[in-house]
Structure 1
């Protein structure tokens, strides 16, 4: 099958990284895949090393008159069976043709950008339910989850390199430093837990404000911002608990990565984590924006090794059954064969 994967995303981000994994995963399953992307050097290199030949386009604003014709030509030359647009910007440029058109949503996007898409894909059941509530026929809406890398054999990051004592209890946050991620809540919760360390890997516009908060709370010795990292598996393996403190999180790939790493998960009950995590079975959920609840739950988990082991083992099984590359790729292939003309 000839599948075009179209994305105009940023250089980094959860959706962008999954686009890369899914595109390569489809190729590894024996499909003929054409990536069409905005030109980001690292993404181009990653896809080319996997044996793919990406086409690049500008994906500009409303005055960009060149991207849509370029996409049409690329799809015609490729003889695409299906063209999948990832997120709003790519979908707004998706041309109709002899190919089936689909849009993949990793959030609650404005559906006006997906007008040329015959099928819509959501990576949570909550998103697919929201799409059908907007009037899209249920037969044209499909749930296809994300998969993440398997971190079962990842080596833990060296705690000394993180500035964390070997015998300290460690909380980990991962993600862009943005108000929506709620890292201020995590920092305040960690500050209330004596002797507990917390590291947050990510970069973004909240950096200065979070640095100021850490200084204000007097916890710079045990709460650290690591910057952008490419070793989430190693960080998860080094942590006692992964914490998702997001105020809004359509899915939360990092929760799935923690499942894969067999690291216990504590999460604010935003959309994605609230759907994925079975509270008390494979993770712990607390109310959004509740510093005291987050701190209390972390304290309970850190003081109960049997609870952490139980949660981690159940989460690992969820990863194998629902969020591994083999399971998710099989679901995608079933969908693609179902909708192709």
Structure 2
């Protein structure tokens, strides 16, 4: 099966990283087109031997990209066109229809209650989304929360299918050696209690609240992993609250330079993970932290909230105003590693790939006139793939030995 993935950009971001990981597990011949910004993830895809084409779009209203994308789709003779992110969904569905391709699937990565991809939702955005959604064969929601939001937008539930974001759990397993080396490299005392946060440094992520909460706990350090337009304002806040010696910034580290710590190493260096964002579509960084055995505090995380409480016992929801007190409570409990919970196995990338392939198979069969039913819609509550045991799960928590602190 030949599949063309169309995405708005390939800079470092959650949807972009998720696409690269997914393509490593999809049993299909895949190519990628980016409308603009062929960044670090494009380099990573090419390193994985996935062909990447950049259309060089100059803005949201650069209509010249539409005929060029249609010609590319027509020439490629693809079985499925799969779109990712708002702009690519709008242009990709239209271009596929112009190219005569009816088997178009979209993944909705970032639909919040009041914003999409970090931008406020408007009536025009919603209207254009719904109009072009009808041109596709179905939409994959990354969480049940997103599926419910699509239903609220008026997208027919039968057209929405669940394919949660996924991770490779083994890649995030705790490493005592990485903990020691990463702390040494970043200048973090080995004995320090380290609170961590991972994500794009943009206003909606509320990392400013996390900085203030850690500053209120003088025995704690903060390790922020990521980059973005809010980096300078966040540095200013660190100075204002007098926490300069206790707040450590690390870059995006999706593609670290040789010998530089990657996200799994940075998670090993932490003692507590905090997600302060009040609005999320999934919460992938929380799942990665759980795979590393970290206790987690979160303000909003559909990945956890959509599951039974016992599937992620180490994750606790708190209000943004409670962060300082909640961090203090965890600090007093001491540094420890939690057993890898069932939630991690539930979000294995192999399950995601299986759900995506099931929809590909169904829509191509339907287009060919075969009587193959579509996968159960997200609203049915049916599982997308057989359950898997969580890798590395253990019956109890493990306190860090003094030499590892």
Flag structure 1 segments of 5+ consecutive residues without an equivalent.
none
Name the count of aligned residue pairs. 330
How many angstroms does 1:258 deviate by? Answer: 0.9
- Classify the secondary structure of the residue corresponding to 2:139: strand
How many angstroms does 1:153 deviate by? Answer: 6.2
Paired residue for 1:45, among 33, 43, 51?
A: 43
CA distance in 2, matches of 1:269, 1:55: 35
How many angstroms does 1:23 deviate by? Answer: 2.5
Kindly indicate whether residue 138 of structure 2 is the aligned counterpart of residue 119 of structure 1. Answer: yes
CA distance in 2, matches of 1:334, 1:142: 10
CA distance in 2, matches of 1:2, 1:252: 30
Paired residue for 2:173, among 148, 152, 156?
A: 152
Go from structure 1 to structure 2 and tell me whether the alpha carbon gap of 1:64 and 1:87 turns closer, same or farther (over 3 Å shift): same
Flag structure 2 segments of 5+ consecutive residues without an equivalent.
117-124, 255-261, 368-405
- Classify the secondary structure of the residue corresponding to 1:313: coil
Paired residue for 1:302, among 331, 335, 353?
A: 331
- The correspondence of residues 159-174 of structure 1 with structure 2, limited to 5 A, is 159-174=183-198
CA distance in 2, matches of 1:277, 1:181: 25
Contact 2:297 2:315 in 1 (8 A): yes
- Classify the secondary structure of the residue corresponding to 1:158: helix
Counterpart for residue 319 of structure 1: 344
Contact 1:256 1:319 in 2 (8 A): yes
Higher mean alpha-carbon deviation, 140-149 vs 51-60, is at 51-60
Go from structure 1 to structure 2 and tell me whether the alpha carbon gap of 1:245 and 1:62 turns closer, same or farther (over 3 Å shift): closer
How many angstroms does 1:42 deviate by? Answer: 3.1
CA distance in 2, matches of 1:74, 1:143: 29
Counterpart for residue 16 of structure 1: 16
Go from structure 1 to structure 2 and tell me whether the alpha carbon gap of 1:329 and 1:200 turns closer, same or farther (over 3 Å shift): same
- Classify the secondary structure of the residue corresponding to 1:248: coil
Paired residue for 2:233, among 203, 209, 212?
A: 209
Contact 1:20 1:43 in 2 (8 A): yes
Kindly indicate whether residue 165 of structure 2 is the aligned counterpart of residue 134 of structure 1. Answer: no
TM-score normalized by structure 1?
0.88
Kindly indicate whether residue 33 of structure 2 is the aligned counterpart of residue 36 of structure 1. Answer: yes
CA distance in 2, matches of 1:270, 1:329: 22
Paired residue for 1:285, among 317, 321, 327?
A: 317
Paired residue for 2:64, among 51, 63, 66?
A: 66
CA distance in 2, matches of 1:168, 1:153: 17
Go from structure 1 to structure 2 and tell me whether the alpha carbon gap of 1:247 and 1:5 turns closer, same or farther (over 3 Å shift): same
User: RMSD value over aligned CA atoms?
Assistant: 2.3
How many angstroms does 1:286 deviate by? Answer: 0.1
Deviations 1:55-79 (CA, angstroms, capped at 9, x unpaired)? 2212343552432222222222222
Contact 2:196 2:222 in 1 (8 A): yes
Counterpart for residue 370 of structure 2: none
Contact 1:169 1:195 in 2 (8 A): yes
